[in-house]
């Protein structure tokens, strides 16, 4: 069992086309998990917190969205350099009307309510930090599910990984920025990613994505892949085949078939294909398909739950969340263990649990396991080691009329916050209402062994 230690909750980012954060990771300026941490309140371009989703009023109200000047970083401290103005950012060459596949990767999935794609206005000023005034007020592309309430539709709202949207770019010329926002139904937050584009009219068009990727013959140890060829201004040179987001093999342009061998029985694999022309121009990804090899006749356990993590701690509680398990047979329940002893069993659609009645300033170890219809238990998830907060006064409760200094820590509504600017509090300046302005949420604290 792997142990997750010293890791804050990480969630999702746009990896294709590479976002500004992804390029920063590739350049060694951000850690991989930091790219998934650009999180602030949902409902951009709103500025206030506590708002209700007008389309789905049963969703969790929002926290305050990122402030102007911190849209690219969402206020995440390690990523504030992403907010720097200028035209120096790495850009993707595109044309108006191009159909671009935006792909999101997740390290912690949540119930996805919608994905909004905004673009900067004609005549915007790259010399200024990104602000609401720089973007169109309405998204030019939206993907939305109105299933409600979210706690009864977790399967329907659970996003596939990766999640890919084909987005047609609007009419623009020169340098522009697309803001991609993933809004979550069961929290007040969203995840923010900016992607830089250079719109042009000349030059050669990059290849079209391979079409109609599908599985042919599938055995216990092999999967046959077939696709329709790409086209472009220049001849196609090769196809790159990816398995589970890793380059598997390159084949020449005359080949639109490949057999992936030496696979494990009764196991899922994800594939996509990209085309490359003779000038090195690369297409967007094909559609991603998920294929399961055949079983070898022997029953297998369900897969372990994924990425058990804490959504927050108080002096007497820990809020847990994990990713779904899969298997040859349907999952019927998840069992949650604290210090090696089972403490709860949830239904198959519930991937969260709040453990209460705990001791303050105490370390606990958690793992989860899945149960299928045969009552077979999976291997444990990762072990999560987490400590409850100290109720002794190390973090006093936030209060009105107190003069706070930079670095002061308080507790408010079960979460911990650190002061960013000196101020005297009032009823309108709660840590939730002024998140990333006066207060920053303190990351969950895990012990380093």
- Segment 411-423 shows an average pLDDT of 82
Task: Check pLDDT > 60 for residue 449.
Answer: no
Q: What is the CATH number of the domain that holds 249?
A: 2.60.40.10
DSSP class of residue 205 equals P
Residue 180 resides in a domain:
yes
Encoding tokens for residue 262?
């030496």
Say whether both 182 and 148 belong to one domain: yes
Residue 300 resides in a domain:
no
Residue 57 resides in a domain:
yes
Say whether both 38 and 150 belong to one domain: yes
Instruction: State the pLDDT at residue 259.
Output: 97
Cα(308)–Cα(290) distance, integer angstroms: 23
Strands (E), 145-286: 163-168, 174-184, 189-199, 211-218, 223-228, 236-243, 246-252, 257-260, 268-277
The closest of 208, 210, 198 to 241, measured between CA atoms, is 210
Kindly indicate the confidence band of residue 198, based on its pLDDT and cuts at 50, 70 and 90. very high
Which residue's entry shows tokens 């093999």?
Answer: 249
Cα(272)–Cα(19) distance, integer angstroms: 19
Say whether both 339 and 371 belong to one domain: yes
Cα(149)–Cα(121) distance, integer angstroms: 35
Cα(386)–Cα(313) distance, integer angstroms: 8
Kindly indicate the confidence band of residue 424, based on its pLDDT and cuts at 50, 70 and 90. confident
User: Which residues partner with 312 through β-bridges?
Assistant: 319
Say whether both 174 and 30 belong to one domain: yes
Strands (E), 358-408: 363-372, 383-387, 403-404
Residue 146 resides in a domain:
yes
Kindly indicate the confidence band of residue 1, based on its pLDDT and cuts at 50, 70 and 90. very low
Neighbour count for residue 190 (Cβ, 10 Å)? 26
The DSSP annotation for 265-292 comes to: TT-EEEEEEEEEETTS-BPPP---EEEE
User: Which residues partner with 374 through β-bridges?
Assistant: none
Instruction: State the pLDDT at residue 310.
Output: 86
Encoding tokens for residue 185?
């139904």
pLDDT tens digits for range 306-358: 888 888 788 889 989 898 888 878 899 999 999 999 999 999 888 889 999 99
Domain end among 335, 352, 387: 387
Cα(354)–Cα(388) distance, integer angstroms: 13
Task: Check pLDDT > 80 for residue 447.
Answer: no
The closest of 89, 90, 95 to 208, measured between CA atoms, is 95
Say whether both 135 and 49 belong to one domain: yes
CA 86, 88, 89 angle in degrees (round to 5)? 100
Instruction: State the pLDDT at residue 414.
Output: 74
Rounded-to-10 torsion of CA 417, 423, 428, 433? -30
User: Which residues partner with 413 through β-bridges?
Assistant: none
Instruction: State the pLDDT at residue 210.
Output: 95
Q: What is the CATH number of the domain that holds 49?
A: 2.70.50.50
Cα(263)–Cα(223) distance, integer angstroms: 8
Range of the structural domain that residue 88 is part of: 3-199
Say whether both 273 and 411 belong to one domain: no
Residue 301 resides in a domain:
no
How far CA 289 is from CA of 224, 226, 271, in Å, comes to 12, 11, 5
Residue 206 resides in a domain:
no
Say whether both 190 and 48 belong to one domain: yes
8 Å CB contact between 41 and 189 = yes
Percentage of residues in the chain with pLDDT exceeding 70? 94
Task: Check pLDDT > 70 for residue 287.
Answer: yes
Say whether both 281 and 372 belong to one domain: no
pLDDT tens digits for range 4-37: 222 333 467 898 889 999 999 888 898 877 888 8
Rg (CA), the chain: 24
Q: Is 256 helix (H, G, I), strand (E, B) or coil?
A: coil
Domain end among 179, 199, 219: 199
Say whether both 147 and 264 belong to one domain: no
Residue 24: in which H helix or E strand, if any? Answer: helix 20-26
pLDDT tens digits for range 32-57: 778 888 999 999 999 999 999 989 98
pLDDT tens digits for range 290-312: 898 988 777 778 989 988 888 87
pLDDT tens digits for range 232-276: 889 999 999 998 877 899 999 999 999 999 998 888 899 999 898
8 Å CB contact between 228 and 203 = no
Kindly indicate the confidence band of residue 153, based on its pLDDT and cuts at 50, 70 and 90. confident
Domain end among 140, 166, 199: 199
Q: What is the CATH number of the domain that holds 401?
A: 2.10.10.20
Say whether both 245 and 270 belong to one domain: yes
Encoding tokens for residue 381?
């998830």
Instruction: State the pLDDT at residue 5.
Output: 28
pLDDT tens digits for range 104-129: 987 666 789 999 999 999 999 999 99
What value does the mean pLDDT of the chain take? 86
8 Å CB contact between 308 and 4 = yes
Say whether both 378 and 400 belong to one domain: no
Instruction: State the pLDDT at residue 240.
Output: 92
Cα(158)–Cα(153) distance, integer angstroms: 8
Residue 253 resides in a domain:
yes
Domains: count for the chain: 4
Residue 297 resides in a domain:
no
Question: pTM score, two decimals?
Answer: 0.52
Say whether both 360 and 378 belong to one domain: yes
């Amino acid at each position: 069992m792997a142990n997750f230690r010293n890791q804050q909750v990480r969630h999702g980012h746009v990896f294709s086309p590479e976002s500004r954060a992804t390029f920063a990771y590739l350049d060694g300026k951000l850690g991989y998990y930091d790219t998934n941490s650009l999180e602030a309140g949902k409902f951009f371009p709103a500025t206030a917190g506590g708002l209700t989703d007008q389309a789905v009023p049963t969703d969790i109200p929002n926290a305050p969205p990122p402030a102007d000047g911190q849209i690219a970083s969402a206020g995440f401290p390690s990523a504030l350099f992403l907010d720097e103005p200028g035209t120096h950012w790495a850009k993707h060459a595109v044309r108006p009307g191009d159909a671009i596949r935006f792909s999101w990767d997740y390290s912690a999935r949540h119930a996805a309510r919608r994905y909004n794609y905004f673009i900067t206005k004609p005549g915007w000023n790259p010399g200024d930090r990104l602000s609401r005034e720089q973007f169109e007020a309405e998204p030019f592309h939206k993907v939305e599910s109105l299933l409600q309430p979210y706690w009864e539709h977790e399967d329907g709202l659970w996003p596939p990984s990766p999640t890919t949207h084909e987005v047609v770019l609007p009419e623009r010329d020169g340098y522009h920025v697309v803001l991609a926002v993933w809004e979550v139904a069961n929290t007040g937050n969203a995840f923010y990613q900016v992607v830089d584009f250079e719109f042009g009219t000349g030059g050669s068009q990059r290849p079209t994505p391979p079409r109609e990727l599908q599985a042919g013959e599938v055995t216990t140890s092999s999967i046959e892949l077939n696709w329709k060829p790409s086209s472009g201004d220049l001849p196609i040179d090769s196809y790159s085949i990816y398995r589970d987001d890793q380059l598997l093999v390159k084949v020449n342009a005359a080949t639109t078939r490949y057999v992936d061998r030496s696979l494990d029985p009764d196991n899922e694999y994800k594939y996509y294909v990209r085309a490359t022309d003779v000038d090195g121009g690369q297409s967007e990804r094909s559609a991603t398909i998920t294929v399961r090899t055949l079983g070898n006749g022997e029953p297998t356990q369900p897969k372990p739950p994924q990425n058990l993590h804490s959504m927050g701690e108080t002096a007497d509680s820990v809020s847990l969340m994990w990713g779904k398990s899969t298997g040859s047979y349907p999952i019927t329940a998840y069992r949650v263990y604290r210090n090696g002893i089972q403490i709860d069993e949830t239904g198959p659609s519930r991937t969260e649990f709040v453990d209460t009645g705990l001791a303050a300033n105490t370390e606990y170890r958690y793992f989860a396991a899945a149960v299928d219809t045969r009552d077979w238990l999976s291997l444990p998830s990762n072990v999560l080691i987490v400590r409850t907060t100290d109720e002794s006064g190390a973090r006093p409760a936030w209060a009105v009329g107190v003069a706070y200094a930079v670095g002061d820590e308080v507790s408010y509504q079960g979460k911990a916050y650190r002061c960013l600017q000196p101020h005297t509090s009032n009823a309108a300046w709660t840590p939730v209402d002024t998140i990333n302005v006066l207060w920053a949420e303190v990351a969950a604290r895990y012990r380093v062994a």
